[in-house]
Amino acid sequence: GKGPADLGDKARLGPGTWRDRLRPGTTRYYALPLDWGRRAFVDVELGSAVASGSGRKTVASALRAALDSPVRAEVVSDGAFYAGAPSSAHLDAGAPVAFANRYAGGGLRALRFPGTYVVRVSLSPELADAYGDEPLGVVLRVAVRDEGRAGQGVTYPGDPGIFQAEGDRAASGPQGERRAAAPGGEGMRWLAVGSFAAGLALVGWLGAWRLRGRRGA
């Protein structure tokens, strides 16, 4: 897959639902701008497929997704097995982007400055043996919540360089459904279906995520 240095506008994400197709054994990177006070939630779903040969085939660690900081430090990651039915990895940044995170432990420490974060999606090469080498459908559902800017950040003197979030939008609902592509690939096509119903679906998904987290606590 393309590396972070190759990220361009065609790989840029925002709140909403994005569709792509990835071949087994490849990794793709998506830019996600996050400013001070923003917290990201990303659900990455690998769609259904028909197994080659007979019977259902299970692939362990078929899907891996991660969120990386502007300096490519990993914030959080998740994975999922695959048996032909839709399977998902879930990314919750765990906190909003804040200057105070530099004193936190684990992946939260990577959330200490704004900028272009990267959603990294990888498919296991073992999927090719079980389901063929054709690209598989992937859906990314992105929510960015504004948890307040007051006291979260600092102002950098001079040019902040990579530590600025150009094009960041906090989500009150999806901005439509889009088809993503690798930079230099087929291009990005916007499917204008950002309806009120879709907004309710994203809010419901985020609420269910929070409820699941409380039950598991």
CA separation for the pair 115, 113 (Å, rounded): 7
Three-state SS for 57? coil
Q: 35: domain CATH number?
A: 2.60.120.380
Provide the pLDDT for residue 101: 87
Q: Say if 100 falls within a structural domain.
A: yes
Number of residues in the chain: 217
Q: Say if 186 falls within a structural domain.
A: yes
Q: Say if 21 falls within a structural domain.
A: yes
Q: Say if 24 falls within a structural domain.
A: yes
Q: Say if 17 falls within a structural domain.
A: yes
Provide the pLDDT for residue 171: 44
Q: Is 136 in contact with 24 (CB distance < 8 Å)? A: yes
Q: Say if 202 falls within a structural domain.
A: yes
How many domains are contained in the chain?
1
How far from 127 is each of 47, 65, 139, 164, CA to CA, in Å? Answer: 12, 16, 17, 37
Q: Say if 217 falls within a structural domain.
A: no
* Tokens encoding 22: 């990835």
User: Which domain does 73 fall in, by range?
Assistant: 4-149+158-212
How many angstroms separate the first and last alpha carbons of the chain? 36
CA separation for the pair 35, 170 (Å, rounded): 9
Would you write out the chain's pLDDT as a tens digit for each of its 217 residues?
343 444 444 578 999 999 999 999 999 999 999 999 999 999 999 999 877 665 578 999 999 999 999 988 999 999 999 999 999 999 999 999 998 888 887 888 889 889 999 999 999 999 999 999 999 999 999 999 988 755 555 565 655 555 556 665 554 333 344 544 433 333 333 322 333 344 444 445 555 555 555 544 4
